[in-house]
């Protein structure tokens, strides 16, 4: 199966059955990502303890790519340390923007090399990642 076929399959699978969808009641960090170019919105809520992302949920509206990327990201990031998240985010951004990037180390994320060369799609695919990154940067975010 080609990366392109895997990409299509992953988008359909995660759009139909989004993982970790919803909002945590007792989150420690939260943020909203917006992509006005496409109309995507993603809300993330996280529980971070001892520098580890213990739990994470997201909800949102928008195109299939933004929703599928949020869903896949949530399965990969849950249980990872904040540093591991940042490392993955950096690699993910490189994957989407650098042609011929060595994607082996990214596992399932490599299907997103399908957005290379489509800047508007890069935004869709990365909105959830940016939302997590922003929520982690905003240490003073207070739970309601
Ligand atoms: Zn989109």
Q: Across residues 36-54, what is the average pLDDT?
A: 96
Tokens found for residue 97: 């923007």
Q: Which percentage of the chain shows pLDDT scores above 70? A: 93
48: CA distance to ligand 1 center in Å? 28
**Strands 29-35 and 52-61, sheet pairing:** unpaired
DSSP structural state of residue 116? T
- The pTM is what? 0.89
Tokens 């990154």, residue? 133
Distance (Å) from CA 136 to ligand 1 centroid: 23
Q: Output the CA 127–ligand 1 centroid distance in Å.
A: 9
Contact 66, 59 (CB under 8 A): no
**What pLDDT shows up at residue 104?**
67
State in Å: Cα 77 to ligand 1 middle: 21
The string of pLDDT tens digits covering residues 71-99 is 999 999 999 999 999 999 999 998 888 87
Q: How far, in Å, is the centroid of ligand 1 from the Cα of 35? A: 7
Q: Ligand 1 center to residue 28 CA distance, Å?
A: 27
The answer to whether 48 touches 26, Cβ cutoff 8 Å, is no
d(CA 25, CA 28): 9
Nearby residues of 129 by Cβ (< 8 Å), 6 or more positions away: 69, 73, 89, 92, 93
């Amino acid at each position: 199966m080609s990366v392109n076929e895997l990409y299509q399959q992953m988008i359909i699978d995660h759009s139909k059955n989004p993982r970790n969808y919803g909002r945590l009641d007792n989150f420690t960090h939260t943020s909203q990502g917006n992509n006005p170019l496409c109309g995507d919105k993603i809300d993330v809520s996280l529980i971070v303890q001892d520098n580890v992302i213990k739990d994470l949920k997201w909800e949102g509206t928008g195109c299939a790519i933004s929703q599928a990327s949020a869903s896949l990201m949530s399965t990969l990031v849950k249980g990872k340390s904040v540093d591991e998240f940042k490392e993955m985010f950096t690699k993910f951004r490189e994957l989407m923007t650098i042609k011929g990037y060595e994607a082996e180390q990214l596992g399932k994320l490599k299907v997103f090399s399908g957005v290379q060369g489509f800047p508007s799609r890069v935004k869709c695919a990365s909105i959830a990642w940016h939302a997590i990154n922003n929520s982690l940067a905003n240490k003073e975010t207070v739970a309601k």
